[in-house]
Amino acid sequence: MNPAVRAAAATRATRTARAPNTYSSRRKRVTVRMRKLGRTGIDVSAYCLGTMVFGKLGNPDHDDCVRMIHRALGAGVNFVDTADVYGYSDTEEIVGKALEGRRDEVALATKFNGPMREGPNRGGSSRHWIIQAVEGSLKRLRTDYIDLYQIHHPDPHTDIEETLSALTDLVRAGKVRAIGSSNLPASDITEAQWGSRQRGLHRPRTEQPTYSILNRGIEREVLPTCRRYGLGVLVWSPLAMGLLTGR
């Protein structure tokens, strides 16, 4: 090896070893950069495994999906995100199966709000639905707590205080560790922060918007708002639904 190349490689290795926010997987000699999840104090890998295509609406092979999740965990990823509506609940079942015996290794995030089945009060962000939704997710995920429980979409028909009040009760009951949101405009993010402070409720700690080099709209208002309130940002579809993979 060229001495200059060897020296550069050694320097990179030293910097990695000394980095205070890295994590070495117990199962393989890999180093993954870690970050704090907003201001929750929870350490998560810089990469979060999204699971939307696991299950009936993507890959219906449960064993194959479980293998992919295990491969991500073996590579040092400790952050997994899902939702109750993914795969008509099939996805949460897969994630629960994959994390059996390894639950404490993972920061587990899921979402509520989407319609789960036909009929009234089968979705949304009301207290009536949230209490039902969390119990369903806990059962499918085979766990007694969720690290990050997120409002999946805006709900113009429900006061944000109603939603935050129900979520606060779940945190106090130990069923949820932290709460967040997804796909909210900057105005709704701000309203949630102010509403929680005025009512003494737990406030959302994260926001999950779509973001890629082809869709940078959140740079105008959402990202500055998240920065103002110290929210962690989990972006979905960074490869623009596969368009940026080159395939």
* Integer CA distances (angstroms), 209 to 74, 107, 236, in order: 27, 19, 6
Backbone angles phi, psi at 49, to 5 degrees: -85, 110
Tell me how far apart the alpha carbons of residues 113 and 196 are, in angstroms, rounded to a whole number: 19
58 exposure class (CB count in 10 Å sphere: 0-12, 13-18, 19+): middle
Report the C-alpha gap between 237 and 14 in whole angstroms: 33
Catalytic residue among 23, 47, 86, 149: 86
Q: Is 88 an annotated catalytic residue?
A: no
How far apart, in whole angstroms, are the C-alpha atoms of residue 223 and residue 140? 33
**Distance in angstroms (rounded) separating the CA atoms of residues 211 and 167:** 26
Catalytic residues: 86
